[in-house]
Amino acid sequence: MQVLYKDNDILVIVKPAGILSERAEDKAGKSVADMFPDMQLFTVHRLDRETAGIMVYSLSKSSAAALSEQIRGGEFKKNYYAVLRGRPEADSGTLEDWLKRDARRNISRVCKEKEDGAKKALLEYKIKAENQGLCLADIALQTGRTHQIRVQFSSRSCPVYGDGRYGGGSGELALFAYSLAFTHPVTGKRMAFAEKPDPERFPWNLFETEDYSL
């Protein structure tokens, strides 16, 4: 597993697809913690098992609390690349919905604002390129709801490629957390990390290197 940064307080890695962000009794499979058996990792944010990309883990409870506070305060910035089947109506814009999660089935859906359990979901996107009926979207998350990107685009008839759960068909889920920025919980230094998806893997290889601006 690729390590981007490590000190006494935090660990920044690139999580591969298929690896759990944290151990879960009801889910079989290897987790990030299993890859670092000599460390005690505290999870402050998550990526779906099928989603690859940059994550930060705290190495102490105090650092975890500080990072979690940044998430609540909107200081924690995450950007994703997604390959969509079809495309949104506009080249760029803001998607705002209310989502409700069904924990038993582990799915989310768009619902009405006043529905019990509804939570606001907000993201910004920009279409970077198109090829063979697919498009590359650069996405900035403003909220962090379960399956948010996947549900919001699927509800607009442009699901993420490979997302069989939300209408994106078969294949590897084309969703990658490429950028992460936060303030170091101890030093106070602003930290920023960026990585590109694997340019050799389909469908990322349908787009030019310059489309993946970091």
Alpha helices by DSSP H, listed for 36-171, are: 61-73, 148-154
pLDDT for res 159: 98
pLDDT for res 29: 82
Does residue 213 surpass a pLDDT of 90?
Answer: no
The predicted model gives 28-35 an average pLDDT of 89
| Closest alpha carbon to 95 in 20, 30, 136, 155 | 155
Domain assignment of residue 151, given as a range:
2-211
What is this structure's pTM? 0.94
pLDDT for res 214: 75
| pLDDT tens-digit map of 138-194 | 999 999 899 999 999 999 999 999 999 999 999 999 999 999 999 999 999 999 999
pLDDT for res 25: 66
Q: What are phi and psi of 139, to 5 degrees?
A: -125, 130
Does residue 121 surpass a pLDDT of 70?
Answer: yes
Using a pLDDT cut of 90, give the percent of the chain over it: 89
| Overall residue count recorded for the chain in this entry | 214
The predicted model gives 112-136 an average pLDDT of 95
The per-residue b/e assignment along 75-95, b for 16 or more CB within 10 angstroms, e otherwise, is ebebbbbbbbbebbeeeeeeb
DSSP secondary structure letters along 81-100? EEEEES--SSSEEEEEEEEE
d(CA 136, CA 175): 10
d(CA 86, CA 196): 22
Q: Which residue has the higher pLDDT, 23 or 116?
A: 116
pLDDT for res 119: 95
What is the pLDDT confidence band of residue 26, given thresholds at 50, 70 and 90?
low
Check: CB of residue 126 under 8 Å from CB of residue 140. no
d(CA 59, CA 40): 6
Check: CB of residue 10 under 8 Å from CB of residue 57. yes
| Closest alpha carbon to 123 in 112, 138, 134 | 138
Reading the block at residue 186, the tokens are 């101890």
C-alpha torsion angle, residues 145, 151, 156, 161 (rounded to 10) = 130
Q: What is the CATH number of the domain that holds 103?
A: 3.30.2350.10
The predicted model gives 16-36 an average pLDDT of 86
Three-state DSSP at 165 gives helix
Three-state DSSP at 146 gives coil
- Total domain count, the chain: 1
What is the pLDDT confidence band of residue 104, given thresholds at 50, 70 and 90?
confident
